[in-house]
Chains A and B, each alone.
Chain A
Amino acid sequence: MEKRNLTCIGCPMGCQITVEFEGEEVFSVTGNTCAIGDKYARQEVTHPERTVTSTVVVVGGAKERTSVKTNANIPKDKIFQCMEEINQVRAQAPLKIGDVVIKGVCGTDVDVVVTKNCEIA
């Protein structure tokens, strides 16, 4: 059985939560003072996910680069693999918010999309 200490991000309280779990199975959540903490802790130890935001190089644009994000959360352990794929991108201007620059990043069904318009130079 694994034991992990987390700080809840549900509110400024920042409860120190202890979770006992093994694989997908959570045995106990303690230290939280409300239901938000319980939910957060269970998600965090079994399927932690994050949105990744970064920038990509733009070719032929009015700017050298533009900002991007994953359009949904990806597994936390794929963040750096996701960054490597983002750093390979050479996106052709013009680009509009929502344009897909990577379809299915890291083998997920999540896309990397543009978050700032970029005109042609």
Chain B
Amino acid sequence: MTSYDIVIVGGGPAGLAAAVSAKKAGTDSILIIERDKELGGILNQCIHNGFGLHTFKEELTGPEYAYRFIQQVYDLGIEYKLDTMVMDISTEKVVTAMNRTDGMFQIKAGAVILAMGCRERPRGALNIPGYRPAGIYSAGTAQRLVNMEGYMPGREVVILGSGDIGLIMARRMTFEGAIVKVVAELMPFSGGLKRNIVQCLDDYGIPLKLSHTVVDIEGKERVSAVTIAEVGPDMKPIPGTEERYTCDTLLLSTGLIPENELSRNAGVSINPVTNGPVVNEILETSIPGVFACGNVLHVHDLVDYVSEEATRAGENAAKYVQNGCKDQDGGKIIQLKATDGARYTVPCTINPERMDDLLTVRFRVGAVFKDSYVSVYFDDERVMHKKKRIMAPGEMEQVILQKKKIDEKPDLKTITIKIEAE
């Protein structure tokens, strides 16, 4: 069995940034395993611009952003395997993978970084009534077809869900001559970024219907029409509000699910809110030496934050192997909790002895909050109270915790993040 100090599962933005930072932190034996035929992950099909404003202070397209990291992987001589699928990760960190040239093989890893990303919620998970003809695609599949393979999925399009990929594809297919008739969103607010709603829908007069869902799909061989209807507060369609759109294509942009089959099989604890691993302050999962970062951990809206998070995972994995793969544990564990409108936190626990001077805690809210406060409680004492003009489920929030403030409270057990009206 071959062995590497660090094996990184996934060569997308998270895996690339983790590899680069681990290498720069002094660990040389690193292998990235990527199932696609090239590095870069989902960024390769995200040809629109707007990436990298935080990281590089300029607006790049997805492929350009990816290449900034791919170039570093080349320059640093980091090893990678393409067209290779990881089949299993054991609790002992033996990675089983396969490809056409090597067949099935196993690698013993000192540390593993999970960077598998996420996948789209499929039609089967949505319970949409109607026929099952050709012409129903997840928005990301359509994006790959149009931007990488050079095929148009259809000419007359209805989109269900207002996630960013769906919005981006509304514009993209309009550019390529398709007519996008409507975007229906089940929730009373969009899951996408404001700028995408304006620049992908409003710019081209594409209506966004909030609190609407698909109630029928017609067509036996190919989609011929889609009917949408308004939903009430109970999320059930309201009779009499149906509108029928003739179309040949239905795109689904209804959410992303972290891809954690490998993590689960390895025995990693999963947070039921994020569907990603439970991690501590160093982004380590419930299995010592197995780290997670990027969309496999929780779905991000900006790749810049993925790179930043993955950079920390890479550094921490390097530190772990340089310490002889021993958990430098000891010390107490503080729980992080999200309540009152805050849905989850990443990380879930903090060991103050291991935390950096500043720790970014990311979270999402469960509804739209205007003129509300993000509050942080150390047990029962409120230590942070910050007004935000707007918070929405589609935009990730963060608070920054200071080690010295935590060290002042030796008996601290729980840190709670909540949203308060005043």
Q: Which residues of A contact B (CB under 8 A)?
A: 6-9, 11-14, 33, 50-55, 57, 63-65, 67, 69, 76, 79-80, 83, 97, 115-117
Contact = CB atoms under 8 A, between A and B. Distances in A.
A52 B171 CA distance: 10
Contact of A7 (B197, B389, B390): B197
A6 B394 CA distance: 21
B351 interface: no
Contacts of A53: 47-49, 61
Interface stretch (B95-103, B198-206, B319-327): B198-206
Interface string B361-394: 0000000000000000000000000000111101
Contact of B47 (A8, A33, A67, A80): A67
B407 to A, nearest CB: 34
B149 interface: yes
A76 B391 CA distance: 30
Contacts of B242: none
A43 B195 CA distance: 15
A97 B64 contact: yes
Given A53-B49, A67-B47, A67-B63, 8 more contacts: A7-B198, A9-B199, A11-B389, A13-B389, A14-B390, A55-B47, A67-B61, A69-B47
A80 B203 CA distance: 12
B44 interface: yes
B48 A9 contact: no
B389 A115 contact: no
Contacts of A64: 149-150
Given A55-B47, A55-B150, A115-B47, A83 B175 contact: yes
B120 interface: no
Interface string B177-207: 0000000000000000111011100110000
Contacts of A79: 175
A115 B63 contact: yes
B216 interface: no
8 contacts: A7-B202, A9-B195, A12-B390, A54-B176, A55-B147, A63-B148, A67-B61, A115-B63
Contacts of B395: 12
Contacts of B67: 97, 116-117
A120 B149 CA distance: 17
Contact of A14 (B49, B147, B194): B194
Contact of B203 (A13, A50, A55, A65): A50
Nearest to B370: A13
A78 B48 CA distance: 17
B317 to A, nearest CB: 29
A11 to B, nearest CB: 7
A11 B390 contact: yes
Contact of B61 (A9, A13, A57, A115): A115
A83 B178 CA distance: 13
